[in-house]
Amino acid sequence: MATVLTFGVYDMLHIGHILLFKRAKELGDKLIVAVQDGDYIQKYKPGTSMVYSTEERVYMVSSIRFVDEVVVYKDVDVDIRKIDFDIFAKGGDQCHAGFQRATKGCEEQGKKVVTIPRTEGISSTMLRDYSKTR
């Protein structure tokens, strides 16, 4: 049984996230989604405007049929070592230093890393920009 793990904020949940979960679930038998802690986001990106609390985002993500388990994380490259999984599924835009270290750590441990392409035409940034014009 292969367990797949993916990470994200998921504050402005959209079809791209749902498709990420669907594609990630297709890679294995169980999908764990790690949702980033809102307090941690505020600590490192002060003034970031969050729509939903950590608890609300966990609830929304856990309600999606492709998701088997939801955990809360702070640092991807630190917390990835605390979770038992076989395949690390990441979005094509998840390339900052923390994700690079997490990817390298997975590869060193013989875990499979799969990059799932973005869904064209949708992003959280687009939704934020759109909501500002309304």
pTM: 0.89
Residue 126 — very low, low, confident or very high, per pLDDT cuts 50/70/90? Answer: low
- Residue 21 above 70 pLDDT? yes
Give 33-70 pLDDT, tens digit per residue. Answer: 999 999 888 877 777 788 899 999 999 999 999 999 99
pLDDT at 65: 98
Among candidate residues 22, 25, 30, 45, the one labeled active-site is: 45
Across residues 112-134, what is the average pLDDT? 73
Among candidate residues 43, 104, 111, 112, the one labeled active-site is: 43
43 catalytic? Reply is yes
Lowest mean pLDDT among 9-13, 36-40, 70-74, 122-126: 122-126
For residue 118, give every residue at least 6 positions away whose Cβ sits within 8 Å of its Cβ, in sequence order, or none. 16, 91, 92, 93
